[in-house]
Amino acid sequence: YYLANSIMSSEQNPKLPKEFFDPHHHYYDPLNNDFQTSLKKLGVKAFLPEGYQKEVIDDLQKIGIRTTGSIHLEALPDDGFAEVEWVYDLIKSYNVKMKDEIKGIVASVNLSDTDADAQLQRLMDYDSKNLVKGIRWILDYAGQYNGNENATHFATTRIHPDGADLLRDPKYNVAFERGFALLEQHNLSFDLQCAPEQLQAAAALCTKYHNTPVCIDHLGKPRMVLGAADLSNENVILDDTALEVWRTGLHAMAKLPQVYIKISMLGWAVPGWCVKPEREMVLRDLVREVVGMFGVERCMVASNWHTNAAASDADFLSDVGPSASVLVSKIASWFQDYHEDDLSLLFARNAKKFYRVNETVD
């Protein structure tokens, strides 16, 4: 894959945040973890803290940005509890070297399971350091699963071989809501990863449970808004029909004060944005539009780091991606008209607030 590790001349000296708190990244080791069979089937290789240290923490340090912690997001485990145990073991193993890097965990629980409450309680009972901050169960469904040909995520095939829509399908959504309703009593947030056409259903659900904080992952996942991911595609005209579905859903979510959003996995929306200036301008406008919708105090920049830069940026839609330093520098350059305090909110403080990192027990 190609790593974009240089900043365009017009952006050589953007005002940068002093601190980055990363609210979204993944570790995994499918060959050695029997609870990661889904990743093993996909041929995914291990990504561990030493990779994150080199590719994110050290890379950002080179441009004067200190990484002050991160949130580990579930990565399709067969058993969410086993994954949390493993992350706890990682923290013990890397404690000194990584300077207590992981400040929180978003665990995996299928909230539509009949025993979802027992699963949540088991996590809470185990969580001696108060690291488990929230739950994610990947929901992206836009029709029958067919690889990367549509927005339906492989994860939904865990429910049904063709995928399943837990937000809109009456076969599933009542059970999912029953599980979602349990999050408040466990003081847990929810990371919402869904397709744009599911956002209105998500808003209807979240309206009923205003005490459960929700963070939308990956900008609400608008997909290839300029058409084909291939770098030979010169189109810079947006797919307005698809974007209207995304905008309508995000506006509904933005009305809810408990809902935040992550500026992450930007290459899913505009593959190759980091190497084609005209694509970057399109993406910049979309990102600024999202910040305008939610307000700077409910948006957070995340790396989504795993595997490599291209996978982190575009989830395998593209083989190019920005280094961590380029990612942060470019996003910062899009907000040069914002106050320094706003950059601090976007790159650190909002994430810390949402995931309650000050409640972690040392």
pLDDT in tens, 46-58: 999 999 999 999 9
Strands 259-263 and 299-301: parallel
Place of tokens 């190609």: 2
Taking the C-alpha atoms of residue 333 and residue 326, their distance in angstroms, rounded to an integer, is 10
Residue ranges of the chain with per-residue pLDDT less than 70 = 1-12, 95-100, 359-362
- Residues contacting residue 23 through CB under 8 Å, at least 6 positions apart: 70, 71, 215, 262, 300, 302, 351, 354, 355
Q: What number of other Cβ atoms are within 10 A of residue 34's Cβ?
A: 11
pLDDT at 141: 97
- Total length of the chain: 362
The pLDDT score that the predictor gives to residue 9 is 36
Closest listed residue to residue 220, CA positions, set 184, 244, 185: 244
pLDDT for the residue 4:
64
pLDDT digits (tens, 9 = 90+) for 166-220: 999 999 999 999 999 999 999 999 999 999 999 999 999 999 999 999 999 999 9
Please state, in angstroms and rounded to a whole number, the distance separating the CA atoms of residues 211 and 239. Answer: 35
Supply the pLDDT for residue 236: 87
- Tokens 């105090």 locate to 297
Helix axes 199-208, 240-254, angle to 10 degrees: 10
**pTM reported for the whole predicted model:** 0.95
Contacts 24+ apart (CB under 8 A), 350-353: 350/260, 350/297, 350/298, 350/299, 350/300, 351/21, 351/22, 351/23, 351/71, 351/300, 351/302, 352/21, 352/69, 352/103
With a pLDDT cut of 90, the percent of the chain lying above it is: 86
Distance separating the N- and C-terminal Cα atoms of the chain: 39
> So what's the pLDDT on residue 295?
98
Task: Work out the number of other CB atoms within 10 angstroms of the CB of residue 213.
Answer: 24
**What is the predicted pLDDT for the residue at 339?**
94
How far apart (Å, rounded) are the C-alpha atoms in residues 229 and 232? Answer: 8
Distances 97 to 50, 93, 260, 299, 352 between C-alpha atoms, Å: 9, 9, 31, 30, 22
State the Cα–Cα distance between residues 188 and 185, nearest whole angstrom: 8
Three-class DSSP category at 291 = helix
What's the token pair of residue 267? Answer: 């290459």
Task: Please state, in angstroms and rounded to a whole number, the distance separating the CA atoms of residues 41 and 44.
Answer: 8
- The torsion angles phi and psi of 103, rounded to 5 degrees, stand at -105, -5
